[in-house]
Amino acid sequence: RRCRRRLDIYMALFTCLATLLACVSARLAIEGRVERQPIFRRLRGGSEEADAPPPPRVMFVCRANSCRSQMAHGLFNKLTDGSSGASCGFRASELNPHAVAVMAEIGIDISEHTSNAIAEYDPSAFDAIICVCGCAAEVPGEWKVGHFEDWSLDDPPELDPGDRSVYRRVRDELKERIEALAKRLHVAGCGLGLGPLRGGQAAAAGGVRDEVKEYYGKVLQKSADLQTNACCTAVELPQEVKAAIGKVHPEVVSKYYGCGLCVPEALSGLSVLDLGCGSGRDCYVLAQLVGESGSVVGVDMTDEQLSTARQHVAWHADAFGYARPNTDFKQGYIEDLKGIGLGDETFDVVVSNCVVNLSPDKAAVLREAFRVLKAGGEMYFSDVYADRRVPPHLRDDPLLYGECLGGALYWNDFLALAKAAGFADPRLVEDAPITVANPALEEKLRGIRFYSATYRLFKLPGRLEADCEDYGQAVVYKGTLPGRAAAFDLDSHHHIE
């Protein structure tokens, strides 16, 4: 009888639970039907277009609000087919007649614009603030809380007040940047919907590569243009590396974007390949460490970055005291090194600094690195990783991707890809948490932790195992590496004395 009583109680509880679940399901179904009929469309009989959010409000800031900011204001309104752009300056001024004229040439009338002072506006009324004259340091702090960019464009009146060709060049550069800005705000999932783009400008960048090229070639002009600190090296540099950086041309250094240090030990006389070399800073550092008898090849796909790297080749050879340059720069994709003529087992070391995360095919990058390495060589590289898989809507955000966050690999996915490529024992050298330092993006990325990490992957087929086993063996360091007489750190958990 006691068992029967317990069974009856359990059945009663189960019935109550089932009834409760049925009620909840019915309620959710009703709410689901309501959600599919937004209230403002039900009341007004509106169309789907009524649901679309308005274009973003963008403020273009300059010193005098007479030329560049006024042209940007007109271009953005034309692009979004509306009046969501605005402009202001630190002081009001007269509208520049040459700016009015060159805008009229492309069918945009800004003659009715007025020049306004920044004090007249509330920054919270705008979704994005764009400083067009390189005066970000002068912009009040409250204007830089949300989406803020500094474009640093030339000032036509300062270059040549009466030469309209200068105004046209700046106008056309503004047009390119505003098209890129429009795509970033639209795709980023910030709730900013852009209206129809005109004149064929609606064509999307043809995939991840084009978006990365655009971001690193046109949007970013210097390291300070980055919107987060993900692509910034925070590690303490060895003295010899600091000295080497001091000999690199200032323009090359100013366009450096990296998240770590990719300089292994004992490089003298070796051949090194830098994947995603950008402006060439790391290549020129490595060129000093490999010496005149060694060689460094940099690969990048971005025209603007490669142009900076190539124009200083002879300058660096002379600065290093070399009879001829030991650096070479090739344009191509790091997923297809064979396509730019890099053969099998060509390099002793492959390095990369915060670039693999930007690739749409990371497995191909690792396979190609393994292919071009000589037996016994290593891939020594820094990159950004996440503590979980980045969701698709964040992964597809061009701004987050360009900032090295959207494409960050989940730790365990990277380890699996590295082993599949042939690197049997990936070794973590060092890692550190990344603080995004951008409140708007931090909110968007809430719950995901990012890390800057350096790995070394050795090409030793059949001679490495993934697990460390201790059978009582010992390794003694002979102190032969320059600058490391007492001990050598193989990785984060192998300190050899």
- On the question of pLDDT at 316 being above 90, the answer is yes
Tell me the whole-structure pTM to 2 decimals.
0.57
Q: Which residues are catalytic?
A: 62, 133
Residue 18 has pLDDT above 60, yes or no: no
Q: What is the mean pLDDT of the chain?
A: 78
Classify each residue of 35-66 as buried b or exposed e, where b means 16 or more C-beta atoms within 10 Å of its C-beta.
eeeeeeeeeeeeeeeeeeeebbebbbbbbbbb
Lowest mean pLDDT among 107-116, 299-308, 337-346, 468-477: 468-477
Report the range of poorest mean pLDDT among 58-62, 186-190, 468-472.
Answer: 186-190
Beta strands (DSSP E) in 11-55 are: none
Q: What percent of the chain has pLDDT over 70?
A: 76
Per-residue model confidence as pLDDT tens digits over 171-193:
988 888 888 777 666 533 322 23
- Please report which confidence band the pLDDT of residue 211 belongs to, taking 50, 70 and 90 as the band edges: low
Q: Are strands 450-458 and 427-434 parallel, antiparallel or unpaired?
A: antiparallel
Please state, as a whole number, how many other Cβ atoms lie within 10 Å of the Cβ of residue 107: 9
Confidence of residue 261 (pLDDT cuts 50, 70, 90): low
The pLDDT-based confidence of 2 (bands split at 50, 70, 90) is low
The stretch 239-254 carries a mean pLDDT of 90
Instruction: In whole angstroms, give the CA distance from residue 385 to residue 225.
Output: 22
Q: Per DSSP, what are the bridge partners of residue 165?
A: none
pLDDT digits (tens, 9 = 90+) for 366-387: 999 999 999 999 999 988 999 9
pLDDT recorded at residue 12 = 60
Contacts of 198 (CB under 8 A, 6+ apart): 78, 79, 81
Q: Which of 293, 283, 246, 278 is nearest to 263 (CA)?
A: 283
Say how far apart CA 38 and CA 194 lie, in whole Å.
21
Please state, in angstroms and rounded to a whole number, the distance separating the CA atoms of residues 311 and 301. Answer: 16
pLDDT of residue 301: 87
- Cβ atoms of 187 and 393 closer than 8 Å: no
Token pair in block for residue 136: 């970000």
